[in-house]
Structure 1
Amino acid sequence: MDTHTLTKHTIYLQRHNLLLDTILKTHTLKLFLLTVVITSTITLTACDTRPVKPEQPATEGLRPVTEEQATLSEEAERWLLRADNSDNQTEQARYRVLAARSYIEADKIDLARQQLETIKRNASPTADKTTVAAISLLSADIAIAEKNSILASQFIAEASPVTREQQLYFYALKADLDYLTGKYMFAVDRRVQLDAYLIDEKDKNRNNKKIWAALSTLSTTQLNNQRTDNPVISGWLDLARVMRSGQKNISKLENDLLDWGTRNPAHPVSKAFLSELIDNYQADSLTAKHIAVLLPMSGSLSKVSAAIKNGLLSAYYNDADASIKPAIDFYDSSDDSQSFRQLYEQAIDRGATDIIGPLDKTTINQLAQQRELAVPVLTLNYSENVFNNTENLFQFGLSPEDEARQVAELAIRQNKLRAAVFYPDSDWGMRLNKAFSEHYESLGGKVLAVKNYTTSSNDYRRPIRALFNLDLSDIRHRRVENIISARTQSEPYRRQDIDMIFLAATHHSARGIMPAFKFHHASTLPVYSTSHVYTGKINRDLDRDLDGLTFCDLPWILQNTSPLKKVFIQNWPRQESLTRLFALGIDAYHLVYNLDYLKKNSYAFYDGQTGNIQLDENNRITRKLLWARFKGGKPVYFEPVLPELTDVTQTSSENKP
């Protein structure tokens, strides 16, 4: 950072005094904390509670440990040492919970679970209320880390926190559960309230990151639509909009931040977090880039490559940061006379600092087997093996499996806990069925019916009848007629134990399947699907049969305010079927400048045309999509209504077949 930039940065932070008195100490939280039992309850003599030294799972040893993970693991070990030196059972449980929380933050869930099991094992049958609460709270924390919102909700409901520390933990877990279930502004509100009761600067900084993660998860439309009378939350929203704008125009970010500081001089955001946020945004933004794009410009993938290239170049010419625009070179990877490795080395020899490509899975699989790459490589597809340990390898694409998993998450959030799956008898269909079913059940749902359909026919009656058990209904009807020796009128009765359908289909198949669902007595069952049911172009006549179908799709398709949309339509009107690949090219260009920020910060998102983008622990891009429902043959964007979670133990006994 140059002297001028550093000076502006320092002036900004000096302007930004932290006045905790401006926090609105919400009445409910204040009363909640006033009920804390300050004095310790009767403690029990502990049985032998020597710390179980956590054994590192073999899978964890394969992944390089980050500096932050190492620090958190050391912190956990210190808490375990204190537990070892204590003769008080309640105190031991407290230290183990603190150790487990550090392990959870370090993404070492198995080690956290070991501590939970140790606390349970050492707790006597008459354990005090503090220890019982510790078990419930830590159980909820682990369930949240494993993204099981149903189980987490049950543990939180059971918890009766005793100490002030437990009360704060309880409230933080409720905020985490709000985040997990998609209630992002609820999470922001809880954590803004919580901030007023946090004393330690590290705790405040951690809380600020959680607030930022919730705000960053909002789509641009959601962020811009937020209104509040709370000045602290209003300041956070204002900051999020400033930083969101800065992702597209980094050169004006500093001035916008100074203006934000002027508008919010007493905002309680911590200096440490704000300084870290600014530094992370600027770290990679002022560096000159030389991008090499390696795509197959001929052959079977040439049209796909052309759409991506057009999107990438459109983003380049529309880039407002003229002072730091990169140099871009294109290489044709379809030339059999040169391997990808040769093109890669050639690009680096010519000065490439970043590489976009390859597109084919075979080459990406090979890259994923290497230990490290000389420069960052952003692929445009994903390797078959999810685990990625290759330094500088980042994977990006329009993964249908990711979309299926997001359908599973929305269904669970909407209390749809018993699913039927209808998918095509193809490799693509099996992949979507597997992705949805595994993720749905890991979140607490149950897949009760699965049926595939042939893609070579438009007649879906037989597999749909099997899916809904309508043939069994007919058999029961015939048995009744045989018993009474008379003909009777009967309406087929579909199975009643499912409350949603996941449909894996293209737009062509979905147009035939949705009317067939309704004909076979499933008009009241909600049907969810992926972006593949929509062409991306409004066609009321052909899509009228899709009415009621809920699906996820790109912001580029559902909420597009980008000037590049008009560029695409005007210049490539006959390539509308490739519109999502054009958006992929746009995001690939901008991600080159945001990968470092995404990698360093677990709370970081990039607001892209293909979705709200985050980097997972395997350096694979994940995208949070938007939701739409067909109405009158037209997809209508909506924000899903998220009810309170239902106890799975209650729903599992209802509506038996």
Structure 2
Amino acid sequence: MIARLRPLLLLCLVGLLAACASSSNSVGELPRTPQASIEQLLQQAGDAQTEEANLLRLSAADQAYKQKDIGRSSSILEQVQLETLKPAQQIFASTLAAELALARKNPKAALQALSHPSFERLGELPVEQQIRSQLTRAKALEQDGQLLAAARERIYIAPLLSDATAASNHEAIWALVSRLPANQLQTTGDADLTGWLALASASKSAATLEQQQAAIDNWVATHPAHPAAVQLPKPLQDLKQLSSEPIGQIALLLPQEGKLSSVGRALRDGFMAAYYQAQQAGETLPDVQIYDSSRIRSMDSFYQQAQSAGTQLVIGPLEKELVTQLSSREQLPITTLALNYSQNEQEAPPQLFQFGLAAEDEAREAARRAWSDGMRRAIALAPSGDWGNRVLAAFRQSWEAQGGELLAAQSIAQPVELAQQIGKLLQLRQSEARSKSIEEKLGTEVAAQPSRRQDVDFMFLAATPQQAQQIKPTLVFQYAGDMPVYATSTLNSGVYNQAQYLDMEGIEFSETPWMLNTDDPTRQLIINQWPQAGGSLGRLYAMGADAFILAPRLDQLKALPSTRIDGLTGSLSLDAQQRVVRQLPWAQFTGGQIQRLPDTPLD
């Protein structure tokens, strides 16, 4: 019986090999990696338009790309007509085109290249090409801000990877999911992806370092076979190595008298409200001693007093001059979380951390959001004076660093001049002048209304509620009612005013989670105790509560720069100067109400 089956088996094997050969021929060959130079490859290709010549050109373009000669690679690739290639070569060329687009920071062009119909046959190509194409797609999705899709792509390709590439991809998956906003950490149809998202959620949800470590340990116990449990991402391994020695004594240094006393009280009350809430939850907490910074004559004397009392962490001061004074020192005797930012540009002592509600953060956030939305050319309105200058400078620096163009900027003047200023920004006067010139030449009236400049994508606005209430209607009057406006939270008073909200219809603005998450338990607790926290002053109570959350996590933020803490003032991280940076959610005035907008991926 076995002998009789052999000829049939042989016949089937021959047929299978023939089918594979036919499939290989139809999909085509990939360019080889020859030892020849770029010049030799191009010389060998000559002017011929044969398949072999195109393979040589693709090899030359690829070699130029690997040598980081983006211009030359692009030039060579342009000589190859994509439609004349076989599918394998189309995939290779399109992947290379995507890599070149990413090198030019153009992810949309990269994704367009990767959408070529030939990719339907990617699975027929060698594993190396499959990996290259799919990792390129993952990088393009990430660069385009599609972090969840990028993570999904990397998870899909993970089984094909090995050694260093597999390890790098593993860490990249964690870097992607850890940057996702909380509303995207939901269950999916993919078990591996759902596990990654659950790990990210577990690492974000804990208030203290010890709770975070416990949440991660619990996730590992419930997902023992998951790739991230088998090999915990390095930032989470490092987290476990951080000292979990609890802080025993905190000094809260805030002004209780003078012009900053109301701010100091709001920060103190927010801090203590979060403290008592944690206490009721059964957490082991440090002792807190409150000091009046308005009575301090010497920071040296204060530190001596605090050290004598066993203080391990100082939270404060609030006064900018005191923070600036501390930042100019080489060392501090006690780790200090200042509640303001220094005016010094020099490097601060390693024991000093700085946290505040800086409007510059919101200007940078506006630049990030607008760029993510596809905007590229901006105009700006900001108040005159030091505050407005700092906000505008922060927006300009961040916007131009991304590649955006700030076409014009104006300082907000009195209402009587506002229409003229906006008209100048929009170049409306030039439009009116052109119409008048045409009328004079024709000797008759021209039925044409002025039009604004068309090279502006949006306006960046830093303004008070009263100023913003005048600006949006002025834009409508100046034929720019359809122009997107990205603003800072300064235009939101926190007190419901339907008429004012209607006047600001369509304006998008960054805002603290405190002002948008009205059902947050800490917020409700504070407002029940201090009703004035329901208005704009609430942001200071939120900052006080976040200072309590930050207190035990400073070492973590310093050791693990990718760490983010979801607070009431924003998603908090630490920059290289040990300044706490806030990334904020967004909202929009819609129909006389404030509507929260979908969160975008974190930086």
Give the distance between the partners of 1:392 and 1:417, measured in 2 at CA: 39
AA aligned opposite 1:503: L
How far did 1:625 drift? 0.9
User: Structure 2 stretches of 5 or more lacking a match?
Assistant: 1-23, 41-58, 81-88, 117-121
1:388 aligned counterpart, secondary structure? coil
The CA deviation string for residues 432-454 of structure 1, in whole angstroms up to 9 with x for no partner, is: 22221222122122122222221
How far did 1:370 drift? 2.8
Indicate the larger mover: 176-185 or 506-515: 176-185
Pair 1:331 & 2:291 matched: yes
Give the distance between the partners of 2:126 and 2:579, measured in 1 at CA: 40
How far did 1:329 drift? 1.3
How far did 1:471 drift? 1.4
The residue number in structure 1 matching 2:342 is 383
**Which has the higher relative contact order, 1 or 2, with Cα contacts under 8 A spaced 6 or more apart?**
1
Pair 1:430 & 2:389 matched: yes
Pair 1:212 & 2:174 matched: yes
How far did 1:36 drift? 9.8
Pair 1:195 & 2:158 matched: yes
AA aligned opposite 1:512: Q
CA gap of 1:443–1:45, structure 2 versus 1, over 3 A, is closer
Give the distance between the partners of 2:75 and 2:440, measured in 1 at CA: 63
How far did 1:172 drift? 4.2
Contact map agreement 2:415 2:470 (CA 8 A) in 1: no
Give the distance between the partners of 2:356 and 2:528, measured in 1 at CA: 25
AA aligned opposite 2:512: L
AA aligned opposite 1:207: N
Give the distance between the partners of 1:235 and 1:591, measured in 2 at CA: 27
The CA deviation string for residues 565-597 of structure 1, in whole angstroms up to 9 with x for no partner, is: 112211211342211111111111111111222
Contact map agreement 2:463 2:491 (CA 8 A) in 1: yes
1:366 aligned counterpart, secondary structure? helix
The residue number in structure 1 matching 2:466 is 508
The residue number in structure 1 matching 2:47 is none
AA aligned opposite 1:531: S
AA aligned opposite 1:44: S
Contact map agreement 1:404 1:432 (CA 8 A) in 2: yes
Contact map agreement 2:238 2:560 (CA 8 A) in 1: no
1:367 aligned counterpart, secondary structure? helix
Percent identical residues: 32
The CA deviation string for residues 248-273 of structure 1, in whole angstroms up to 9 with x for no partner, is: 5844853x545534542321115442
AA aligned opposite 2:159: A
The residue number in structure 2 matching 1:234 is 194
CA gap of 1:35–1:221, structure 2 versus 1, over 3 A, is farther
How far did 1:140 drift? 6.9
Pair 1:608 & 2:571 matched: no
Aligned length: 537
How far did 1:552 drift? 0.9
Give the distance between the partners of 1:364 and 1:187, measured in 2 at CA: 41
Contact map agreement 1:541 1:633 (CA 8 A) in 2: yes
Give the distance between the partners of 1:514 and 1:594, measured in 2 at CA: 42
1:371 aligned counterpart, secondary structure? coil
How far did 1:195 drift? 2.5
The CA deviation string for residues 337-386 of structure 1, in whole angstroms up to 9 with x for no partner, is: x2223213321232111111122333323333333333322121222345
CA gap of 1:212–1:548, structure 2 versus 1, over 3 A, is same
The residue number in structure 2 matching 1:9 is none
The residue number in structure 2 matching 1:445 is 404
Give the distance between the partners of 1:123 and 1:463, measured in 2 at CA: 44
How far did 1:600 drift? 1.6
Kindly name which structure, 1 or 2, has the bigger radius of gyration based on alpha carbons: 2
The residue number in structure 2 matching 1:493 is 451
Which residue of the other structure, out of 496, 505, 509, is the alignment partner of 1:547? 505
Pair 1:537 & 2:537 matched: no
Contact map agreement 1:120 1:135 (CA 8 A) in 2: no
1:495 aligned counterpart, secondary structure? coil
How far did 1:616 drift? 1.8
AA aligned opposite 1:526: P
The residue number in structure 1 matching 2:183 is 221
The residue number in structure 2 matching 1:528 is 486
Contact map agreement 1:37 1:163 (CA 8 A) in 2: no
User: Structure 1 stretches of 5 or more lacking a match?
Assistant: 1-30, 48-89, 98-114, 144-148, 643-657
In the TM superposition, 1:52-201 aligns within 5 A as 116=68, 149-150=105-106, 168=131, 171-172=134-135, 174-200=137-163
Give the distance between the partners of 2:111 and 2:517, measured in 1 at CA: 36
For normalisation by structure 2, the TM-score amounts to 0.78
Contact map agreement 1:189 1:233 (CA 8 A) in 2: yes
The residue number in structure 1 matching 2:12 is none
How far did 1:239 drift? 1.7
How far did 1:217 drift? 2.5
1:217 aligned counterpart, secondary structure? coil
How far did 1:194 drift? 3.4
In the TM superposition, 1:248-263 aligns within 5 A as 250-251=210-211, 254=214, 256-257=215-216, 259-263=218-222
For normalisation by structure 1, the TM-score amounts to 0.72
Give the distance between the partners of 2:389 and 2:221, measured in 1 at CA: 55
CA gap of 1:474–1:608, structure 2 versus 1, over 3 A, is same
Give the distance between the partners of 2:355 and 2:165, measured in 1 at CA: 33
Give the distance between the partners of 1:532 and 1:345, measured in 2 at CA: 39
Contact map agreement 2:588 2:594 (CA 8 A) in 1: yes
Contact map agreement 1:551 1:629 (CA 8 A) in 2: yes
Which residue of the other structure, out of 539, 543, 559, is the alignment partner of 1:584? 543
Pair 1:638 & 2:601 matched: no
AA aligned opposite 1:580: R
CA RMSD of aligned residues (A): 3.9
Give the distance between the partners of 2:307 and 2:134, measured in 1 at CA: 51
